[in-house]
Amino acid sequence: MKYIIIALALLPALMKISSLPFNAYGFGLLSGWLGMSLIAASLLLIIREPAWTDWFGGLQHMYLWHHRMGMMGYVLLLAHPLILSSHYFELDLDVAWQYLSPFNPDPINMVGWTGLITFMLGLAATFTQRLSYSLWRRLHMLLVGAIMLGLGHIWMADSSSVSFVIACFTVALAIGWRIIRGDYGIGAFPYEVNAVYHPTEQITEVSLRSLAKPMLIAPGQFVNAAFFQGPNFQGCGEFHPYTVSRVAKDGSLSLNIKALGYCTKHIQSLEPGVAVHLQGPYGNFLLDRPFSPEIWIAAGIGITPFLALLRSDKVDQKTDLIYLHREKENVPFEKELQTYAANQELLHFHSLAMENDPTLLFKWLASISRLKEQQIYLCGPPLLIALTTSWLQEQGVSRRQIHFEQFDFR
């Protein structure tokens, strides 16, 4: 499927190649076409249909591809006026400057430059990690405006070409699909909050009852959930990702949601009867695991995929579960996890209270015999996953033995 996307990203530019002159002017036009078609094709990677995301190795990988293609497209678009201008550099400096200047009043130039500058602003927002998700999303929408301006620029230059029609069709398909099926949740699974329980002040365990055909989901996978309204609750209505923490035989599911930002803080006052839409299932964490001893490392609310697995079945191979948390007492789920470990010979549970410095975890891991032979599963914040992965690799654990789920992606 990746190759189809790459082919689609190259098609409009390839269709143009034969009509372009073999000089700097032609290369300038080619970089514009390539940039625009890469960006149009990258939009297909924001469609969140589960089967579609599976083809790219999961939502996280798919978004990575989306980012890389978008960045490559942007660099090519920046090169477009530079290369065009370089063609005129020796012939006529005034004309060369007109291609470079955002202040050139020619409408085609103004639309192109406004698109490029808008794109730059949208990208700057994309890389600002500390923004709340909803603000980040709104700023990211600037990129859609930039793409429309880019298409407007092409339309003014070359409206009748098939390449232009393909680029427009790709953009319309991707954005339309994402808005209708993704953001408006048409086709999402309807659920209802059945019960709410608070393991701690900051965490809400939500049990969901299916109102139609239930979603087929396995422990370790996650859903995109939007909470709507109930008798006294008004949810933020946005889709956010949560890993299931229980998958019951009757199709009901549980989520454990930690208060972090606007939406998740709001969810803490959830009540039974609230309507919920679920999209998914997504992800393949903990699915199809090779038969060998395992180490599970969960940081904070990253315990949810392991909780779902333990709540559904006993472990069938030697498993060390290391639970990292900040609490000195009242550790959420600790008693439940201790009970599983007490009743299962193969399961060993270790609770480690620590702050951000992972030295304690590394010390503990270093004491494990035959570390290099174990399969290691990590779930938690990206920084901890990155530090632990590189430490494990330094100890000789192969990258193929390390599996992780990050609780943050955009």
Ligand X SMILES: Cc1cc2nc3c(=O)[nH]c(=O)nc-3n(C[C@H](O)[C@H](O)[C@H](O)COP(=O)(O)OP(=O)(O)OC[C@H]3O[C@@H](n4cnc5c(N)ncnc54)[C@H](O)[C@@H]3O)c2cc1C
Provide the minimum distance between the beta carbon of 108 and ligand X in the complex, in angstroms, as a whole number.
Answer: 37
DSSP 23: S
- Binding ligand X (rule: CB under 6 A), the pick from 158, 183, 192, 408 is 408
Q: SS3 of 130, please?
A: coil
C-alpha 228, offset from chain centre: 22
In the block, which residue shows the tokens 């269709």? 15
Q: Which residue is nearest to ligand X (CB)?
A: 261
Interacting span for ligand X (CB under 6 A) from 342-350, 353-361, 366-374, 401-409: 401-409
Provide the minimum distance between the beta carbon of 65 and ligand X in the complex, in angstroms, as a whole number.
Answer: 16
Which residue, 174 or 263, is less far from ligand X as judged by CB?
A: 263
Which residue, 153 or 325, is less far from ligand X as judged by CB?
A: 325
C-alpha 339, offset from chain centre: 34
Per the DSSP assignment, residues forming a β-bridge with 377 are 296, 403
Provide the minimum distance between the beta carbon of 59 and ligand X in the complex, in angstroms, as a whole number.
Answer: 7
Residues in Cβ contact with 268 at an 8 Å cutoff, skipping those fewer than 6 apart = 198, 202, 204, 257, 259
Which residue, 265 or 318, is less far from ligand X as judged by CB?
A: 265
Residues in Cβ contact with 388 at an 8 Å cutoff, skipping those fewer than 6 apart = 297, 358, 361, 362, 378
Which residue, 294 or 405, is less far from ligand X as judged by CB?
A: 405
Asked if 304 touches ligand X (CB under 6 A), the answer is yes
Per the DSSP assignment, residues forming a β-bridge with 141 are none
Contact by Cβ (8 Å): 305, 243: yes
Interacting span for ligand X (CB under 6 A) from 100-108, 113-121, 226-234, 238-246: 238-246
Provide the minimum distance between the beta carbon of 60 and ligand X in the complex, in angstroms, as a whole number.
Answer: 7
C-alpha 40, offset from chain centre: 18
Which of the residues 22 through 51 are near ligand X (CB under 6 A)?
A: none
Contact by Cβ (8 Å): 226, 237: yes
Query: What is the C-alpha R_g of the chain?
Result: 25
Provide the minimum distance between the beta carbon of 393 and ligand X in the complex, in angstroms, as a whole number.
Answer: 23
Query: Quick one: which of 196, 253, 195, 251 has its CA closest to 224?
Result: 253
Which residue, 257 or 376, is less far from ligand X as judged by CB?
A: 257
Provide the minimum distance between the beta carbon of 296 and ligand X in the complex, in angstroms, as a whole number.
Answer: 15
Asked if 133 touches ligand X (CB under 6 A), the answer is yes
> What does the buried/exposed string (b/e) look like for 349-384 if buried means 16 or more CB atoms within 10 Å of the residue's CB?
beeeeeeeebeebbebbeeeeebeebbbbbbbeeeb
Q: SS3 of 326, please?
A: coil
Per the DSSP assignment, residues forming a β-bridge with 208 are 193, 253
- Binding ligand X (rule: CB under 6 A), the pick from 68, 93, 107, 132 is 132
Which of the residues 88 through 107 are near ligand X (CB under 6 A)?
A: none
Encoded one letter per residue, x for contact with ligand X by CB under 6 A and - for no contact, window 253-292 reads ---xxx-xxxxx----------------------------
Which residue, 11 or 62, is less far from ligand X as judged by CB?
A: 62
Contact by Cβ (8 Å): 228, 277: yes
Which residue, 320 or 405, is less far from ligand X as judged by CB?
A: 405
- Binding ligand X (rule: CB under 6 A), the pick from 99, 113, 189, 242 is 242
Provide the minimum distance between the beta carbon of 257 and ligand X in the complex, in angstroms, as a whole number.
Answer: 4
- Binding ligand X (rule: CB under 6 A), the pick from 170, 210, 243, 254 is 243
Asked if 410 touches ligand X (CB under 6 A), the answer is yes
Residues that bind ligand X (rule: CB under 6 A) add up to a total of 23
CA-to-CA dists, residue 383 to 64, 66, 350, 389, 390, angstroms: 17, 22, 21, 10, 11
Which residue, 173 or 260, is less far from ligand X as judged by CB?
A: 260
Encoded one letter per residue, x for contact with ligand X by CB under 6 A and - for no contact, window 203-222 reads -------------------x
Q: SS3 of 228, please?
A: coil
Cα distance between residue 281 and residue 58, in whole Å: 10
Provide the minimum distance between the beta carbon of 278 and ligand X in the complex, in angstroms, as a whole number.
Answer: 13
Provide the minimum distance between the beta carbon of 387 and ligand X in the complex, in angstroms, as a whole number.
Answer: 17
Instruction: Return residues touching ligand X (CB under 6 A).
Output: 132-134, 222, 240-243, 256-258, 260-264, 301, 304, 405, 407-410
